[in-house]
Amino acid sequence: MEKVNYVPNFNGNDIVVISSANEEVDTITVGDNPIALVQTTAHLYVANFGSDNVSVIDVNERSVIKTLDVGSGPDALAVTPDEKYVYVTNWDSNNVSVISITEQKVITTIQTGVNPDALEITSDGSRVYIVNFGSNDVTVISTETNQVSHTIPVGDTPDALALSPDGSRVFVMNFGTNDVSIIDTKHNAVIDTTTIDNLPSNSGVELSNLQMDDEFFRLVYCTPDLTLESKRGDNCTYELSGILTCSGAPQPDTEVNFSSILTGSGSIMIMPNPATTDETGSFTATLQAAHGTAGTVTVTAQSTVRDSNVSATQTIPINCPPPPTTPPPKNPKIPNCIRTTKIYDWLYDAKTFKTTISIPGYPSDSASPAGITTNGLQNEKKVRLICIPSVSENNPPVCEIVDIKNGIPGTIKIRWTFYINMRTIDYDSNELLGEFLMPVQFENDYVICVPEPFTANNIVCSLIGVTCKNSTVLSGDQVEVVMTVCNEIEVQGEVKLELLGQACQPRSPKIIGDGSHPPEIEPFVRCLTVPDLPIHYINSLNNNQ
């Protein structure tokens, strides 16, 4: 049989079979997020980090013959030299599962330190050494009794280890302190702490393997870092730039959000916001100051890497002079007829409310995005829900005037309807699993001046902003969403003016005529929302008449 290599595909949920010519010849589907494997003469044992089990593969048939449930978050395996047992470290449940190869089942579970990771078995098969990332120690297990014989303190956050060929030493790579603890296996105690560059040349340790394990760990469990710099540009602009890394590794395709505090007068704007990092982890944005802005602005860049928040701040002095003024052109005094709109009253309203909505497609349609969401959450899969306001020509927001009472002041009742986009995100990989639209509707009463004989045709309602906080699944297919909705309402009426005047600037004939043929004006009722998409206007009062 041709010699092949087996590679776990963490995001693809399978094992890739690679030939001696370095070509992919087959794939074997296993559990969720396979992270490590170990091979015996007849079988492969694969640790599936995302589904908390181990897949047993027949190497001749290249197929899974059994799936064994182990602890939570299995991430490393080792087989005894006699191929009788496989030891599996379980990162989340802080224990080790022992699999009998003869019986193909888990025969015992052994408690370890916090977050057990890499492990090694001595050449005589008598002991198992396990590094515990979260408790800064090494657990030693006797394979004869399957009990812990020693717990050895080492450096901060150990993440890799290697045995010397004669079995007399264990070398432990400490991620947090960036050094190596050397353990004497006869006394099971640390006899020295050094750097990997200072290890003796006759130690017999495959340093490349130890370093490779450590580098892999730094990619999966890393410390994020964010830099931010600013540089003055032209026309009151400032170039913002920085780099997002995690333990030195660039973080591409990641959003960086900006916030700012201006101390002084004027206004500023940052675009784009958020910015997205490129393949090198770099990002750029532009801060634009309005003319006349003076003072200092404190800019904070913030991002999230593997559920860890990181930020950086820059304080920028701003001095943007006012624009030069030019005197307006003079116009002669002539008779004019002006038709325009008078605003009789205006208000701005911001409302925060909770609403519970049902996810469509559940429970009958388990293959729909909603089914994926609810079934995944009920099965305790690591997913999260994000809700995003959806404004488009296909799903426009709607303001519906339900009732109106004239008076000074009067009242109006408006029903608002819009959509949010629910997204299901894999917690570990940030992969989009599915999405679907959900309608949101609420009514609100407003006290505003509506003089006689004004009707709903004199009301202008605008949905100017919607924010949506992350939702929480309450039970079954019910989702609670926290919304903040900002809207603007105006009461308008048309007026006609006849005057003899001198305009400050050249006039458009569409607005001001000679008085003999007043221009036609569109109806004043409108409903607009950002970003400049018309929302549907419904006059329920007229429709019911």
Of the listed ranges 9-18, 254-263, 418-427, 503-512, the least confidently predicted one is: 503-512
Rg of the chain (C-alpha set): 34
Question: 137 burial class (0-12, 13-18, 19+ CB within 10 angstroms)?
Answer: buried
Quote the distance between the C-alpha of residue 511 and its chain's center. 50
* H-run or E-run covering 219: helix 207-220
Identify which has the larger pLDDT, 306 or 414. 414
H helices of 319-463, in order, are 369-378
Do residues 423 and 479 touch, judged by C-beta distance below 8 A? no
Q: What does the pLDDT average to over 242-271? A: 88
Greatest mean pLDDT among 198-202, 230-234, 314-318 lies in: 314-318
Greatest mean pLDDT among 26-40, 248-262, 326-340, 458-472 lies in: 26-40
Across all residues in the chain, what is the average pLDDT? 80
- Kindly report, residue by residue over 183-196, the tens digit of the pLDDT: 999 999 998 887 76
How far apart are the C-alpha atoms of 209 and 217, rounded to whole Å? 12
Do residues 458 and 524 touch, judged by C-beta distance below 8 A? yes
Identify which has the larger pLDDT, 187 or 233. 187
Determine the pLDDT at residue 14: 94
* H-run or E-run covering 416: strand 407-426
Dihedral class, residue 22 (left if φ above 0, else alpha if ψ from -120 to 50, else beta)? left
Determine the pLDDT at residue 283: 94
Q: What does the pLDDT average to over 152-181? A: 85
Q: Which residue has the tokens 């470290």?
A: 89
Determine the pLDDT at residue 137: 97
Determine the pLDDT at residue 233: 82
Determine the pLDDT at residue 365: 61
Question: 470 burial class (0-12, 13-18, 19+ CB within 10 angstroms)?
Answer: exposed
Determine the pLDDT at residue 379: 59
Quote the distance between the C-alpha of residue 33 and its chain's center. 19
Residue 201, pLDDT above cutoff 60 = no
Residue type, 330: K
- pLDDT above 70 coverage of the chain, percent: 76
Determine the pLDDT at residue 203: 46
**Paired tokens of 242:** 């920085």
- Kindly report, residue by residue over 517-544, the tens digit of the pLDDT: 443 433 332 323 333 333 333 333 433 3
Question: 134 burial class (0-12, 13-18, 19+ CB within 10 angstroms)?
Answer: middle
Question: 115 burial class (0-12, 13-18, 19+ CB within 10 angstroms)?
Answer: buried
Q: Which of 439, 445, 444, 459 is nearest to 539 (CA)?
A: 459
Instruction: Give the three-class secondary structure for 529.
Output: strand
Determine the pLDDT at residue 504: 58
Identify which has the larger pLDDT, 54 or 462. 54
Determine the pLDDT at residue 354: 81
Residue 335, pLDDT above cutoff 70 = no
Determine the pLDDT at residue 222: 52
Instruction: Give the three-class secondary structure for 132.
Output: strand
How far apart are the C-alpha atoms of 460 and 237, rounded to whole Å? 36
Determine the pLDDT at residue 43: 95
